[in-house]
């Protein structure tokens, strides 16, 4: 009996391989978990399994996992991924022939028989479910289907990138919906109607136009005696089909409607004699006639004045509600009949809260026989429109009495008395109450009805943590696709489809806010001659976007202003400051620096703004403003120009300080702008580096922001300060982009040093990437721009940079002269970072000349400086050079020890190029000592560390060394593959020495990387 039959653990006790994809991607052999590595590697494995047993070409794998953004190294990256997967998944005794992943010319194939996957279990269970259902064995179908649903209880392939994973997730979502529907149908056929209804209300079944699903729900409702609700299901589906698709229901649904109307028991199930299970939510249940009197809820006939007419105060339902299916399903889901259910819906102004709760109320209307009430508290309206508790309660009391205009006693004005009267009046009623535009829990609590089974939907901009609620929904702006869908509904498909790109742009500029989209659509409808592109062009900047989103008495900015006016002065000050934040996302420290507040005070302001729905919190500790809200905050900031100038300066100082502290140069390594790091909130370089890393790719935006704002000195200083941080993470493209933005600002900056310094920085980046001729040009220009400016520190870096470039271009004598001069200047200036760089370069030149002992003296001095500095990156760099000298002198053990320490320090510093370089040097040391298998593994680890932005020459070095190790192990095919890959890298022709070594390797020559070819950058 297999695992599917027996319910056994998915891990075979004999040590067979098990791979799970229907939840977190996992692999186990026997009782041991296997580490599959990064998500991209997991995605490669998943793609091979999903396409098994087919042979998958390199191109197909790249399309499946990377889509339209393939890696810069092309299919060559796949070999390192597959190598690591084979090493993890293969059994201890399995050779390449018996691997679970077979290779072939141009691709790979996963061998299904070598492992069991939960996908196979799912296929078997689905087949058994369908077979049992076809045979009429509904109990068995429920059993098999339930086990299949258990396999699908988690999100499949979570977090895996690529089009294939997305497609598979969608397919499995459809599979889950089908299983849920099959389960509900089996329950109906077995007469288990309450359970069937629960299954039908499940979230995966919330599809707005599914007629078979609606027919099934009607059968379940009729089966428990709720004929009226069954008919309401038909009416709602018919209305939706007509409104949204322009078509009548199909034959099956119309036939079910007629059967319910006629009570045709030949087509429909009769009421089950078995009552609902204890605890089953039945909020919509109409009491059957034979129910005992003591179980019946009081209704209108019990009113002392006689039967009370049913009250419905709901406003009209909106014609277009797009992209809210999930939220609507949650709002209309069954609730307990024992108490009063409260749901809150919050979100920013214009996001569509009222439209959503009104649509939900209309869908629930028939389930509340004693009435549907609506009260608008007008919290964000004019002062005279605001509805206080007394006024709201008096309105509600009049609504539930026999006559809507009945006059209440004159002495009934105290809130406590009104609440008592309201609860007494509603204790025997089942009501649906909508409370709109609520600002606080104190406003809502007095309005809650007392009748069991009543439901309250509360909408407002403010989060209401003080209100006890069964469900809290925060309504987010529509996604781009949904926003375009609403735009198409509002202006017509033909007009939107005529300009698809303009429709996308307009939806983006409206930020997915339904209010903004409706106003934009109204403007287009009123101006038939306008194209969508024309209106999108008029909304091309912050100020114009808000100005265009105004129509009659409706205005997006006015809606935002109402929220702003409700804030305290301190919160308003914080909101205006956030409009000037240079990045889309920010943290507590950003606001604390701008306001000169403590972190605690800044966090309180941020959380208050989140509660007011003016600020979003996509991740814990990270915040963002909606684009239109941000534009509004910026416009408000211009109303207080002194505050705005101080806020802008403070936040730019913060980024300069973070970059300088995170840099190995240290704050003292910058000649001007020392006030930028005064009172820094970063205790050490580690905190500063982590803070910058959290900003991700938005660091370039900070430089662009400063340049656009005319803050030229800040733009230059921030770009300069970020060089070390970005380069050591291999983010050369971003580093270069920031410098290119800052360079034009240097001529307008008051700090005249910047024109030379930024060119030095460009030279450093070229050195890192092995572009030595370009680097020499930059350093030459830096020297020319530095003439006349008394800045010895910048001059020393220019000289050192020229020396490093000249050495690599073959000018040994000039290089030594420049590096010695730079070393003397660095010693006088106390610049430890530059001293270490100059010593390492001088040592490498001595090694190239065969003077290894002299080189080791330079390296030892550089290590000592690094130890004093305490930065793991500088120590690791110097250790790599020292290990080279030991290798050249035959001291293999000493070299290996130094390199192991260098690897750990590089990992600690999170310096990706240095980590890759030190790993590959360690692999070379293992190679020299005869540990070829270990050397191959370490080389592959180095390759996995590289990124798309890694310098070409570094990847060439790693692959050439790996090819040499393969060749030494007699694995000629794999060696040739690495040499060819090195030669095919973008820009490989720009590195003649590495090019020549790779070609020697292809010819079968013994490739030896000389000691001076330390693959760590010279800078």
Each residue's pLDDT tens digit, 505-525 = 999 999 999 999 999 998 888
Q: Rounded to an integer, what distance in angstroms lies between the CA atom of residue 141 and that of residue 138?
A: 5
Sign of CA dihedral 598, 604, 608, 609: positive
Average pLDDT on 981-993 reads: 86
849: left (phi over 0), alpha (psi -120 to 50) or beta: alpha
Quote the pLDDT of residue 911: 84
First to last CA, the chain: 64
Quote the pLDDT of residue 510: 92
Q: Rounded to an integer, what distance in angstroms lies between the CA atom of residue 415 and that of residue 394?
A: 10
DSSP SS3 for 501: helix
How is residue 779 annotated by DSSP? Answer: H
pLDDT reading at 10 higher than 80 = no
Instruction: Please write the tens of the pLDDT for every residue from 401-431.
Output: 744 444 455 445 578 888 888 998 898 899 9
How is residue 312 annotated by DSSP? Answer: B
Quote the pLDDT of residue 9: 34
Q: Where are the beta strands (DSSP E) in 892-947?
A: none
Quote the pLDDT of residue 287: 35
Average pLDDT on 357-379 reads: 90
Tokens for 832, please give them: 């430890």
Average pLDDT on 248-252 reads: 80
| Residue 749 CB-half CA count within 13 A | 25
pLDDT reading at 240 higher than 90 = no
* Residue 475 binned pLDDT confidence (cut-offs 50, 70, 90): very high
pLDDT reading at 291 higher than 60 = no
- 274 with 332: CB under 8 angstroms? no
- 944 with 78: CB under 8 angstroms? no
Helix (H) or strand (E) holding 19: strand 17-20
Give which of 792, 778, 771 is closest to 743, Cα–Cα.
778
Give which of 468, 479, 506, 509 is closest to 490, Cα–Cα.
506
pLDDT reading at 718 higher than 50 = yes
Radius of gyration of the chain (CA): 35
- What residues does 908 pair with on adjacent strands? none
Tokens for 512, please give them: 């997915």
Residue spans of alpha helices (H) in 612-753: 627-637, 641-662, 685-695, 699-708, 712-727, 732-746
- 504 with 473: CB under 8 angstroms? no
Contacts 24+ apart (CB under 8 A), 519-523: 519/549, 519/550, 519/551, 519/554, 519/555, 519/556, 520/487, 520/548, 520/549, 521/487, 521/490, 521/491, 522/551, 522/554, 523/548, 523/551
Q: Is the peptide bond before 129 cis (omega within 30 degrees of 0)?
A: no
Sort strands 471-474 and 341-346 into parallel, antiparallel or unpaired.
Answer: parallel
Average pLDDT on 489-513 reads: 90
Instruction: Please write the tens of the pLDDT for every residue from 90-103.
Output: 865 555 557 888 88
- 308 with 429: CB under 8 angstroms? no
Tokens for 699, please give them: 């660091």
- 741 with 704: CB under 8 angstroms? yes
Percent of the chain with pLDDT over 90: 41
Instruction: Please write the tens of the pLDDT for every residue from 644-663.
Output: 999 999 999 999 999 999 99
Quote the pLDDT of residue 778: 95
* Residue 251 binned pLDDT confidence (cut-offs 50, 70, 90): confident
Q: Rounded to an integer, what distance in angstroms lies between the CA atom of residue 321 and that of residue 243?
A: 11
Please tell me the least confidently modeled range out of 290-299, 441-450, 935-944: 290-299
pLDDT reading at 270 higher than 60 = no
pTM: 0.66
Instruction: Please write the tens of the pLDDT for every residue from 794-811.
Output: 899 999 999 999 998 889
Q: Rounded to an integer, what distance in angstroms lies between the CA atom of residue 218 and that of residue 200?
A: 10
Quote the pLDDT of residue 492: 87
* Residue 589 binned pLDDT confidence (cut-offs 50, 70, 90): very high
Contacts of 496 (CB under 8 A, 6+ apart): 484, 487, 488, 503, 532
CA dihedral 804→809→812→814, nearest 10 degrees, is: -70
pLDDT reading at 664 higher than 80 = yes
Helix (H) or strand (E) holding 619: strand 616-619
393 versus 285: the higher-pLDDT residue is: 393
* Residue 266 binned pLDDT confidence (cut-offs 50, 70, 90): low
Give which of 428, 422, 420 is closest to 453, Cα–Cα.
428
Give which of 81, 36, 39 is closest to 58, Cα–Cα.
81
Give which of 25, 19, 59 is closest to 41, Cα–Cα.
25
Contacts of 805 (CB under 8 A, 6+ apart): 763, 767, 772, 773, 775, 776, 779
Percent of the chain with pLDDT over 70: 87
As to burial, measured by CB atoms within 10 angstroms (0-12 exposed, 13-18 middle, 19+ buried), residue 135 is exposed
Query: Average model confidence (pLDDT) for the chain?
Result: 84
305 versus 77: the higher-pLDDT residue is: 77
- 107 with 58: CB under 8 angstroms? yes
- 751 with 673: CB under 8 angstroms? yes
Average pLDDT on 487-514 reads: 90
Sign of CA dihedral 18, 22, 25, 31: negative
pLDDT reading at 294 higher than 50 = no
Exposure letters 592-624 (e unless 16+ CB within 10 A, then b)? bbbbebeeebbbbbbebbeebbbbbeeeeeebb
* Residue 295 binned pLDDT confidence (cut-offs 50, 70, 90): very low
Q: Is the peptide bond before 53 cis (omega within 30 degrees of 0)?
A: yes
Q: Rounded to an integer, what distance in angstroms lies between the CA atom of residue 741 and that of residue 719?
A: 8
Please tell me the least confidently modeled range out of 258-272, 685-699, 935-949: 258-272
Quote the pLDDT of residue 296: 33
Q: Please report how the helices 163-189 and 138-151 are oriented relative to each other, as an axis angle in degrees rounded to 10.
A: 150
How is residue 947 annotated by DSSP? Answer: -
Instruction: Please write the tens of the pLDDT for every residue from 843-864.
Output: 999 998 999 999 999 999 999 9
Q: Rounded to an integer, what distance in angstroms lies between the CA atom of residue 280 and that of residue 908?
A: 55
DSSP SS3 for 33: strand
Q: Rounded to an integer, what distance in angstroms lies between the CA atom of residue 463 and that of residue 353?
A: 13
Instruction: Centre a 10 Å sphere on the Cβ of residue 799 and count the other Cβ atoms it contains.
Output: 24
Q: Rounded to an integer, what distance in angstroms lies between the CA atom of residue 97 and that of residue 105?
A: 15
Quote the pLDDT of residue 543: 65
* Residue 346 binned pLDDT confidence (cut-offs 50, 70, 90): very high
Please tell me the least confidently modeled range out of 214-218, 573-577, 687-691, 832-836: 214-218
pLDDT reading at 526 higher than 50 = yes
Give which of 435, 438, 434 is closest to 379, Cα–Cα.
438
Write out the DSSP string of 424-471: HHHTT---EEEEES---HHHHGGG---STT-EEEEEESS--TTS--SE
Please tell me the least confidently modeled range out of 17-26, 200-209, 272-281, 971-980: 272-281
Instruction: Please write the tens of the pLDDT for every residue from 145-196.
Output: 889 988 888 888 888 888 888 888 888 888 888 888 888 889 888 888 888 8
- 790 with 820: CB under 8 angstroms? no
Quote the pLDDT of residue 945: 84
Quote the pLDDT of residue 789: 67
């Amino acid at each position: 009996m297999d695992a599917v039959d027996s319910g056994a653990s998915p891990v075979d006790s004999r040590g067979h391989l098990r791979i799970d994809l229907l939840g977190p991607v996992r692999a186990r052999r026997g009782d041991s978990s296997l580490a599959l590595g990064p998500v991209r590697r997991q995605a490669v494995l998943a793609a091979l399994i999903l396409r098994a047993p087919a042979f998958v070409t390199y191109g197909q794998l790249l399309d499946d996992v990377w889509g339209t953004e393939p890696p810069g190294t092309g299919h060559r990256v796949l070999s390192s991924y597959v190598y690591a997967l084979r090493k993890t998944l293969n059994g201890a005794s399995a050779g390449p022939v018996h691997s679970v992943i077979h290779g072939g010319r141009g691709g790979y194939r996963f061998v299904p028989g070598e492992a069991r996957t939960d996908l196979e279990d799912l296929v078997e269970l689905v087949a058994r479910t369908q077979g049992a259902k076809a045979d009429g064995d509904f109990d068995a179908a429920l059993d098999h289907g339930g086990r299949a649903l258990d396999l699908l209880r988690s999100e499949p392939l979570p977090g895996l990138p690529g089009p294939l994973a997305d497609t598979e997730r969608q397919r499995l979502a459809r599979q889950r919906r089908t299983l849920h529907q099959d389960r509900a149908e089996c329950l109906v056929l077995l007469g288990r109607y309450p359970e069937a209804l629960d299954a039908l209300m499940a979230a995966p079944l919330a599809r707005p136009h599914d007629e078979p699903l609606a027919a099934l729900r009607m059968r379940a409702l009729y089966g428990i005696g709720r004929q009226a609700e069954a008919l309401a299901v038909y009416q709602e589906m018919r209305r939706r089909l007509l409104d949204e698709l322009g078509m009548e229901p199909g034959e099956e649904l119309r036939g079910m409607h007629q059967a319910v109307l006629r009570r045709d028991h030949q087509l429909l199930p009769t009421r089950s004699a078995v009552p609902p299970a204890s605890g089953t939510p039945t909020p919509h249940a109409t009491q059957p006639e034979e129910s005992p009197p003591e179980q019946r809820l009081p209704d209108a006939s019990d009113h002392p004045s006689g039967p009370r007419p049913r009250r419905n105060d709901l406003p009209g339902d909106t014609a277009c509600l797009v992209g809210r299916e999930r939220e609507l399903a949650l709002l209309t889901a069954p609730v307990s009949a024992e108490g009063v259910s409260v749901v809150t819906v919050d979100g920013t102004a214009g996001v569509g809260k009222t439209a959503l709760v009104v649509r939900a109320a209309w869908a629930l209307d028939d389930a509340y026989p004693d009435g549907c009430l609506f009260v608008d508290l007008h919290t964000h309206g004019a002062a005279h429109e605001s509805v206080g508790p007394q006024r709201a309660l008096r309105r509600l009391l009049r609504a539930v009495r026999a006559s809507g205009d009945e006059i209440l006693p004159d002495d009934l004005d105290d809130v406590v008395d009104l609440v008592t009267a309201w609860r007494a009046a509603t204790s025997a009623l089942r009501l649906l109450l909508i409370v709109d535009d609520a600002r606080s829990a104190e406003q809502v609590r007095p309005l809650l009805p007392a009748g069991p089974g009543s439901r309250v939907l509360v909408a407002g901009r403010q989060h209401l943590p003080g209100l006890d609620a069964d469900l809290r929904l925060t309504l987010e702006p529509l996604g781009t696709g949904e926003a375009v869908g609403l735009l198409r509904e509002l202006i017509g498909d033909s007009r939107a489809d005529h300009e698809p790109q303009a429709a996308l742009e307009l939806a983006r500029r409206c930020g997915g806010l339904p209010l903004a989209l409706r106003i934009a659509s109204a403007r287009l409808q009123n101006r038939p001659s306008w194209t969508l592109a024309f209106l999108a062009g008029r909304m091309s900047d912050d100020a114009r976007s808000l100005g265009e989103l105004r129509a009659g008495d409706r205005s997006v900015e006015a809606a935002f202003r109402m929220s702003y006016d409700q804030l305290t002065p301190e919160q308003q000050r914080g909101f205006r400051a956030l409009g000037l934040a240079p990045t889309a996302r920010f943290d507590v420290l950003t606001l604390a620096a701008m306001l000169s507040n403590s972190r605690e005070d800044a966090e309180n302001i941020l959380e208050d703004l989140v509660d007011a729905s003016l600020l979003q919190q996509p991740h814990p500790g990270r915040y963002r403003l909606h684009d239109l809200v941000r534009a509004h905050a910026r416009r408000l900031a211009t109303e207080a120009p002194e505050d705005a100038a101080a806020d802008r300066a403070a936040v730019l100082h913060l980024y300069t300080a973070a970059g300088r502290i995170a840099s190995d140069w240290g704050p003292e390594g910058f000649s001007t702008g020392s006030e930028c790091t005064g009172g820094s909130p970063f205790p050490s370089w580690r905190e500063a580096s982590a803070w910058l890393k959290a900003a991700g790719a938005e660091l370039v935006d900070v430089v662009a922001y400063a340049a656009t704002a005319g803050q030229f000195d800040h733009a230059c200083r921030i770009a300069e300060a970020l060089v070390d941080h970005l380069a050591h993470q291999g983010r050369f493209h971003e580093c270069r982009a920031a410098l290119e933005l800052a360079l034009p600002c240097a001529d307008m900056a008051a700090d005249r040093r910047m024109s030379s310094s930024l060119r030095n920085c460009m030279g450093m980046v070229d050195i890192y990437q092995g572009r030595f001729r370009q680097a020499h040009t930059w350093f030459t220009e830096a020297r020319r721009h530095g003439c006349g400016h008394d800045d010895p520190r910048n001059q020393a870096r220019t000289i050192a940079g020229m020396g490093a470039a000249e050495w690599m271009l073959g000018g040994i004598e000039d290089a030594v002269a420049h590096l010695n001069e730079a070393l003397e200047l660095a010693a006088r200036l106390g610049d430890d970072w530059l001293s270490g760089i100059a010593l390492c370069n001088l040592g490498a030149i001595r090694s190239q000349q065969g003077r290894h002992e002299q080189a080791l003296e330079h390296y030892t001095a550089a290590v000592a400086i690094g130890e004093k500095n305490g930065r793991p990156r500088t120590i690791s760099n110097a250790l790599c050079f020292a290990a080279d000298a030991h290798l050249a002198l035959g001291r293999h053990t000493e070299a290996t020890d130094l390199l192991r320490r260098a690897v750990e320090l590089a990992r600690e510093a999170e310096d990706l190029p240095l980590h890759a370089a030190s790993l590959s040097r360690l692999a070379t040391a293992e190679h020299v000592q005869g540990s070829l298998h270990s050397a191959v593994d370490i080389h592959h680890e180095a390759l996995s560390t590289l990124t798309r932005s890694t310098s070409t020459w570094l990847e060439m070095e790693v692959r050439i060394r790996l090819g040499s190790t393969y060749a030494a192990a007699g694995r000629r095919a794999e060696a040739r593959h690495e040499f060819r890959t090195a030669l095919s890298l973008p820009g490989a022709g720009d590195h003649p020495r590495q090019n020549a070594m790779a070609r020697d390797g292809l010819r079968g020559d013994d490739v030896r990387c000389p000691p001076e070819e330390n693959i760590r950058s010279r800078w």
